[in-house]
Amino acid sequence: MIALIEAMGARRYAPLGQLCSGSCQRAMVWYAWDAAVAAGFFELLRHFENALGRAMSARLAAGFARADWWNAQTLDLTYTGNAMIEKAAERIGRTRGTAPVGSFANELMLGFWVSLLSRGSDYDNRLWRPMLRHAFPEYRGSRAALHQDLAYLVTLRNKIAHHAPIGSRHLPADHESIHRIVGYLGQLQVKWLERHDRVPALLALRPGRCPNGHLCVADVEGRLHYDV
């Protein structure tokens, strides 16, 4: 078991104080649970990112009166925002000016959409007030507050994408944030999300602190269906 724990780097997936020792078998239970709950969140974030991107892209297209809003001369993004657009074009082997209207917006990632809700280059007056606030018809707060909520979710997405541990995060709060923000987009989206959400069941399987080392596997091993 110690050899497996070492081979998988499992100890780092257990939050501080959850293992009884460096050879605690529960390290593999934490490793398996972290992978399972990360997969559940990644599914949820996929739906979240699609809904967010499509809603914001539609408002930008309407605001700039062109489907390829990323080519509008008055868009005036920050250096980072422009770089994200260029990278998205590179991924499909095109330049920014020749990127296909029908599919290009799908190449833009969550970090890009969230960056448009930052202060940017006066984004509050140029993008948020005239355009992007209308992508969130059920939201009544400030751009800054919404951006902060979304920034936390970008961090979660990046951790999952890079296989970093997420068990130390307040995952129920992350889960609530995803549903709340999708609710700002519209009730149709959030109701669908609720029907396809595996995360609550996975959160209920969160391992506890090791009580005594060598007997620490039995209570969650079967429920997670992992042979540690």
Reported as half-sphere exposure (CB side, CA atoms, 13 A), residue 27 has a value of 19
Does residue 223 or residue 157 have the better pLDDT? 157
pLDDT of 215 > 70? The answer is no
Question: pLDDT value at position 103?
Answer: 82
Question: pLDDT value at position 226?
Answer: 40
Kindly list the domain boundaries of the chain, sorted by start residue: 24-224
Percent of the chain residues topping a pLDDT of 70: 93
pLDDT of 150 > 60? The answer is yes
CA torsion 88→93→97→99, rounded to 10°? -70
Backbone angles phi, psi at 196, to 5 degrees: -115, 25
**How far is the C-alpha of 188 from the C-alpha of 134, rounded, in Å?**
16
**How far is the C-alpha of 216 from the C-alpha of 35, rounded, in Å?**
19
Chain centroid to CA 129: how far?
A: 25
Once rounded to an integer, what is the mean pLDDT over residues 42-57? 96
Buried b (16+ CB within 10 A) or exposed e, 30-55: bbbbbbbbbebbeebbebbbebbbbb
